[in-house]
Amino acid sequence: MVTYKEKSASRLPLAITLVIASFLSAVILAATSNRGDQYWIAKHTLLPGALIASTDVTTAKFSLGENASVYLDRNENPVGTLVLTRISAESLIAKDAIGDDLSNGSSHLVPLRIASSDLPSAIMSGETIDLYWVDSRDNNLSPSPPTLIVSGIYLVAIDKSGKNFGSDNSLTVSVEASDVLRVLNATTYGRLVVVSTHG
Protein backbone atom coordinates (compact mmCIF):
# COMPACT_ATOMS: atom_id res chain seq x y z
CA MET A 1 0.00 0.00 0.00
CA VAL A 2 1.35 3.40 -1.02
CA THR A 3 1.40 5.86 1.83
CA TYR A 4 0.75 9.62 1.65
CA LYS A 5 4.42 10.35 2.28
CA GLU A 6 5.42 8.10 -0.61
CA LYS A 7 2.95 9.88 -2.94
CA SER A 8 4.33 13.25 -1.88
CA ALA A 9 7.89 12.09 -2.42
CA SER A 10 7.08 10.83 -5.91
CA ARG A 11 5.49 14.14 -6.88
CA LEU A 12 8.38 16.25 -5.62
CA PRO A 13 10.71 15.66 -8.61
CA LEU A 14 7.86 16.49 -11.00
CA ALA A 15 7.12 19.71 -9.15
CA ILE A 16 10.78 20.68 -9.21
CA THR A 17 10.96 19.93 -12.93
CA LEU A 18 7.91 22.12 -13.62
CA VAL A 19 9.37 24.99 -11.61
CA ILE A 20 12.68 24.76 -13.46
CA ALA A 21 10.89 24.57 -16.83
CA SER A 22 8.80 27.63 -15.97
CA PHE A 23 11.90 29.55 -14.92
CA LEU A 24 13.76 28.62 -18.10
CA SER A 25 10.77 29.65 -20.23
CA ALA A 26 10.70 33.05 -18.54
CA VAL A 27 14.44 33.50 -19.12
CA ILE A 28 14.15 32.52 -22.79
CA LEU A 29 11.15 34.83 -23.30
CA ALA A 30 12.98 37.73 -21.69
CA ALA A 31 16.06 37.10 -23.82
CA THR A 32 13.97 36.91 -26.98
CA SER A 33 12.08 40.12 -26.22
CA ASN A 34 15.35 41.97 -25.67
CA ARG A 35 16.78 40.99 -29.03
CA GLY A 36 17.08 43.59 -31.75
CA ASP A 37 17.97 47.25 -31.83
CA GLN A 38 16.10 50.53 -32.16
CA TYR A 39 15.73 51.89 -35.69
CA TRP A 40 14.05 54.99 -37.11
CA ILE A 41 10.70 54.62 -38.87
CA ALA A 42 8.35 57.11 -40.53
CA LYS A 43 5.12 57.95 -38.69
CA HIS A 44 3.46 58.82 -41.99
CA THR A 45 4.39 58.98 -45.66
CA LEU A 46 7.39 61.22 -46.31
CA LEU A 47 7.73 62.68 -49.80
CA PRO A 48 10.84 63.77 -51.72
CA GLY A 49 11.89 67.34 -51.01
CA ALA A 50 10.48 67.42 -47.48
CA LEU A 51 12.58 68.22 -44.44
CA ILE A 52 12.14 65.65 -41.68
CA ALA A 53 10.81 67.03 -38.40
CA SER A 54 10.71 65.31 -35.01
CA THR A 55 6.96 64.77 -35.47
CA ASP A 56 7.58 62.77 -38.66
CA VAL A 57 9.62 59.94 -37.16
CA THR A 58 9.95 57.62 -34.18
CA THR A 59 11.97 54.54 -33.22
CA ALA A 60 11.00 50.88 -32.98
CA LYS A 61 12.84 47.65 -32.24
CA PHE A 62 13.83 45.29 -35.06
CA SER A 63 16.19 42.37 -35.54
CA LEU A 64 17.61 43.12 -38.98
CA GLY A 65 20.67 40.91 -38.97
CA GLU A 66 22.96 41.52 -41.92
CA ASN A 67 20.54 44.16 -43.30
CA ALA A 68 21.07 46.41 -40.29
CA SER A 69 23.64 48.58 -42.05
CA VAL A 70 21.06 49.64 -44.66
CA TYR A 71 18.81 51.48 -42.18
CA LEU A 72 19.19 54.29 -39.66
CA ASP A 73 19.70 53.12 -36.08
CA ARG A 74 18.73 55.22 -33.08
CA ASN A 75 22.13 56.96 -33.04
CA GLU A 76 21.64 58.31 -36.58
CA ASN A 77 18.94 60.92 -36.04
CA PRO A 78 17.23 61.85 -39.35
CA VAL A 79 15.58 65.04 -38.03
CA GLY A 80 16.59 68.00 -40.18
CA THR A 81 17.61 65.90 -43.17
CA LEU A 82 16.06 65.96 -46.64
CA VAL A 83 13.86 63.19 -48.02
CA LEU A 84 15.30 61.97 -51.34
CA THR A 85 12.95 59.09 -52.12
CA ARG A 86 9.41 58.32 -50.97
CA ILE A 87 9.25 56.70 -47.52
CA SER A 88 5.99 54.92 -46.73
CA ALA A 89 4.22 55.24 -43.38
CA GLU A 90 5.60 52.95 -40.65
CA SER A 91 8.53 51.95 -42.88
CA LEU A 92 12.15 51.75 -41.81
CA ILE A 93 14.19 54.71 -43.03
CA ALA A 94 16.99 53.62 -45.36
CA LYS A 95 20.20 55.60 -45.25
CA ASP A 96 20.10 56.31 -48.98
CA ALA A 97 16.52 57.66 -48.72
CA ILE A 98 17.67 60.86 -47.02
CA GLY A 99 20.43 63.41 -47.47
CA ASP A 100 22.09 66.29 -45.66
CA ASP A 101 22.62 68.51 -48.71
CA LEU A 102 19.66 70.88 -48.51
CA SER A 103 20.64 72.44 -51.83
CA ASN A 104 19.10 69.35 -53.43
CA GLY A 105 15.69 70.32 -52.12
CA SER A 106 14.18 71.42 -55.40
CA SER A 107 10.59 70.34 -54.67
CA HIS A 108 7.91 72.94 -53.96
CA LEU A 109 4.45 72.55 -52.44
CA VAL A 110 1.76 73.92 -54.74
CA PRO A 111 -1.91 74.33 -53.68
CA LEU A 112 -4.61 73.51 -56.23
CA ARG A 113 -8.39 73.46 -56.39
CA ILE A 114 -9.81 70.55 -58.36
CA ALA A 115 -13.46 69.81 -59.16
CA SER A 116 -14.80 66.56 -57.72
CA SER A 117 -15.53 65.28 -61.22
CA ASP A 118 -11.85 65.74 -62.13
CA LEU A 119 -10.52 63.76 -59.18
CA PRO A 120 -10.52 59.97 -58.58
CA SER A 121 -12.94 59.24 -55.75
CA ALA A 122 -10.63 56.87 -53.85
CA ILE A 123 -7.45 58.91 -54.16
CA MET A 124 -5.45 59.50 -50.97
CA SER A 125 -2.52 61.64 -49.89
CA GLY A 126 0.86 60.07 -50.57
CA GLU A 127 -0.14 58.75 -53.99
CA THR A 128 1.70 59.45 -57.23
CA ILE A 129 -0.39 61.38 -59.75
CA ASP A 130 -0.34 62.97 -63.20
CA LEU A 131 -1.91 66.36 -63.94
CA TYR A 132 -3.68 66.96 -67.25
CA TRP A 133 -5.00 70.25 -68.58
CA VAL A 134 -8.40 70.15 -70.33
CA ASP A 135 -9.69 73.09 -72.37
CA SER A 136 -13.14 73.99 -71.05
CA ARG A 137 -13.52 77.44 -72.59
CA ASP A 138 -17.03 78.20 -73.82
CA ASN A 139 -16.37 80.05 -77.07
CA ASN A 140 -16.37 79.55 -80.81
CA LEU A 141 -12.76 78.44 -80.91
CA SER A 142 -11.96 74.80 -81.48
CA PRO A 143 -11.03 73.28 -78.13
CA SER A 144 -7.43 72.25 -77.67
CA PRO A 145 -6.72 68.58 -76.97
CA PRO A 146 -5.96 67.54 -73.38
CA THR A 147 -2.34 68.14 -72.43
CA LEU A 148 -0.15 66.40 -69.87
CA ILE A 149 1.16 69.13 -67.59
CA VAL A 150 3.34 67.11 -65.22
CA SER A 151 3.66 63.43 -64.33
CA GLY A 152 4.87 61.38 -61.40
CA ILE A 153 4.32 64.05 -58.76
CA TYR A 154 3.22 63.39 -55.19
CA LEU A 155 -0.11 64.29 -53.65
CA VAL A 156 0.94 65.65 -50.26
CA ALA A 157 -2.50 66.52 -48.86
CA ILE A 158 -6.13 66.48 -49.91
CA ASP A 159 -9.25 68.05 -48.39
CA LYS A 160 -12.57 66.70 -49.66
CA SER A 161 -14.69 68.43 -47.03
CA GLY A 162 -16.50 70.51 -49.66
CA LYS A 163 -17.28 67.57 -51.92
CA ASN A 164 -20.84 67.07 -50.70
CA PHE A 165 -21.62 70.76 -51.11
CA GLY A 166 -20.55 71.02 -54.73
CA SER A 167 -17.33 72.81 -53.86
CA ASP A 168 -13.90 72.11 -55.28
CA ASN A 169 -11.40 69.90 -53.49
CA SER A 170 -8.24 71.43 -52.05
CA LEU A 171 -5.02 69.63 -52.97
CA THR A 172 -1.36 70.20 -52.19
CA VAL A 173 1.13 68.64 -54.58
CA SER A 174 4.92 68.36 -54.47
CA VAL A 175 6.35 69.72 -57.72
CA GLU A 176 9.90 70.21 -58.97
CA ALA A 177 10.92 73.87 -59.08
CA SER A 178 11.18 73.78 -62.86
CA ASP A 179 7.52 72.69 -63.15
CA VAL A 180 5.89 75.19 -60.78
CA LEU A 181 5.14 77.85 -63.42
CA ARG A 182 3.87 75.23 -65.85
CA VAL A 183 1.37 73.99 -63.26
CA LEU A 184 0.26 77.48 -62.25
CA ASN A 185 -0.18 78.60 -65.86
CA ALA A 186 -2.50 75.66 -66.40
CA THR A 187 -4.84 77.02 -63.71
CA THR A 188 -5.50 80.32 -65.49
CA TYR A 189 -8.22 78.81 -67.70
CA GLY A 190 -9.53 75.37 -68.48
CA ARG A 191 -9.52 72.52 -65.95
CA LEU A 192 -6.92 70.41 -64.26
CA VAL A 193 -7.68 66.70 -64.14
CA VAL A 194 -5.94 64.40 -61.67
CA VAL A 195 -5.01 60.89 -62.81
CA SER A 196 -3.82 58.41 -60.21
CA THR A 197 -0.82 56.39 -61.42
CA HIS A 198 -0.78 53.84 -58.53
CA GLY A 199 2.99 54.09 -58.15
Q: What is the pLDDT of residue 164?
A: 56
Give residue limits of the domains in the chain.
1-35, 37-103, 107-196
Q: What is the pLDDT of residue 70?
A: 93
Do 186 and 121 contact (CB within 8 A), yes or no?
no
- Which CATH architecture best describes the domain 37-103? Alpha-Beta Complex (3.90)
CA dist 27 and 181 (Å) reads: 63
Compute how many other C-beta atoms are within 10 angstroms of the C-beta atom of residue 146.
13
Return the half-sphere exposure (C-beta side, CA atoms, 13 A cut-off) of residue 154: 21
Q: Per the confidence metrics, is the pTM higher than 0.75? A: no
User: CA quadruple 151, 154, 156, 161: dihedral positive or negative?
Assistant: positive
Q: What is the pLDDT of residue 193?
A: 94
CA dist 149 and 78 (Å) reads: 33
User: CA quadruple 115, 119, 125, 127: dihedral positive or negative?
Assistant: negative
Report which of 197, 198, 199, 129 is spatially closest to residue 158, judged by C-alpha positions.
129
Print pLDDT tens along the chain (199 aa).
Answer: 555 455 555 566 666 666 676 666 555 555 545 567 899 999 998 888 778 888 999 999 998 888 889 999 999 999 988 888 889 899 999 999 998 765 555 678 899 999 988 999 888 877 889 999 998 776 656 778 899 999 988 888 888 776 655 678 899 888 888 899 999 999 988 899 999 876 5
Q: For residue 5, what are the CA distances in angstroms to 8, 10, 12, 16, 121? A: 5, 9, 11, 17, 78
